[in-house]
Chains A and B, each alone.
Chain A
Amino acid sequence: MSEVILQVVGSGVLWGFIFVLSALGLTIIFGVMDICNFAHGDFLMMAMFLAFWLSVWPGLDPMLSLPIVAIAIALLGVATYWLLIRHVLKASGMAQIFVTFGLMIFLRGLAQALWGADYRSITDPLVQGSWNIMPNLSLSKPQVVAALCAIVATILVYLFMTKTRTGLALQAVSEDKDAASLMGIPVQKMYILAWIIGAGCVGIAGGLLSEFYYIYPEVGMVYGFLAFITVALGGFGSIKGVFYAGLIIGMVQALGGFFFGSAYQYLLVYGLYFVCVVVRPQGLMGRR
Chain B
Amino acid sequence: MTDNNLIKKLWQRPSIIIVTLLFLFLLVVPKIVTGYYLHAVILIIMYATLGTAWNWIGGFAGQMSLGNAVYFGLGAYATACSQLWWGWNPWLGLLLGIVLSGIVAFLIGLPCFRLKGHYFAIATMAVGEIVNIIFTNWDAAGGASGLYLTITESSLLNFQFASKVPYFYIVLVLLVLATAITIWLKNSRSGYYFRAIKEDPEAAKALGINLVNRKLMAIILSGTVSSVAGSFWINYMLFIDPPSAFLIMTSVQIALIAVMGGMGTVWGPIVGASIIIPLSEGSRMFLGGTGSGIDLVIYGLLIMLVAIYQPGGIVGAVNNYTKKRQSKKKATLKAVQEVSE
Contact = CB atoms under 8 A, between A and B. Distances in A.
B129 A103 contact: no
Output the residue of B137, B303, B305 with the most chain A CB within 10 A.
Answer: B303
Contacts of B301: 102, 106
A228 B311 CA distance: 24
Contacts of B133: 263-264, 266-267, 270
Nearest to A115: B293
B95 interface: no
A263 B138 CA distance: 11
A64 interface: no
A114 B294 CA distance: 9
B299 A105 contact: yes
B118 A102 contact: no
Nearest to A277: B123
B252 interface: yes
B336 interface: no
A115 to B, nearest CB: 9
A102 B293 contact: no
Nearest to A102: B303
The secondary-structure label for the interface of chain A is: helix
Nearest to A111: B293
A103 B109 CA distance: 28
B311 A94 contact: yes
A212 to B, nearest CB: 24
A274 B256 CA distance: 24
A285 to B, nearest CB: 15
A101 interface: yes
B304 A106 contact: yes
Interface string A274-287: 10011001000000
A98 B118 contact: no
Contacts of B114: 281
Given A88-B307, A263-B133, A270-B129, A232 B297 contact: no
Contacts of B332: none
B115 interface: yes
B308 A87 contact: yes
A72 B141 CA distance: 45
B58 interface: yes
B33 interface: no
Contacts, number: 143
Contact of B296 (A93, A109, A228, A278): A109
Contacts of B118: 30, 36, 93, 97, 232, 236
Contacts of A104: 300
Nearest to A35: B118
B136 A263 contact: yes
Nearest to B304: A102
A269 B23 CA distance: 47
A185 interface: no
Interface in A195-245: 217, 221, 225, 228-229, 232, 236
Nearest to A275: B111
A109 B118 CA distance: 23
A112 interface: yes
Given A107-B300, A109-B294, A281-B115, A97 B125 contact: no
Interface residues of B, number: 46
Contacts of A101: 252, 256, 303
Given A101-B252, A266-B129, A113 B297 contact: yes
Interface in B90-124: 111-112, 114-115, 117-119, 121-123
Nearest to A109: B296
Contact of B293 (A88, A91, A113, A266): A113
Given A95-B308, A270-B129, A277 B296 contact: no
A106 B134 contact: no
B34 interface: no
B292 interface: yes
Given A91-B311, A94-B263, A99-B307, A274 B130 contact: yes
Output the residue of A91, A94, A270 with the most chain B CB within 10 A.
Answer: A94
A273 interface: yes
A124 to B, nearest CB: 28
B137 A274 contact: no
B294 A281 contact: no
A232 B295 contact: no
A98 B130 contact: no
A105 B300 contact: yes
A104 to B, nearest CB: 7
Nearest to B292: A113
B315 interface: no
Contacts of B123: 232, 273-274, 277
Q: Which 9 A-B pairs have the closest CB atoms?
A: A109-B296, A106-B300, A112-B293, A102-B303, A113-B293, A105-B300, A102-B304, A95-B311, A99-B307
27 contacts: A36-B118, A95-B307, A95-B308, A97-B117, A98-B256, A98-B306, A99-B303, A101-B252, A101-B303, A102-B303, A102-B304, A102-B305, A105-B299, A106-B303, A106-B304, A109-B299, A109-B300, A112-B291, A113-B296, A113-B297, A221-B248, A232-B118, A232-B122, A266-B129, A270-B126, A270-B127, A273-B126
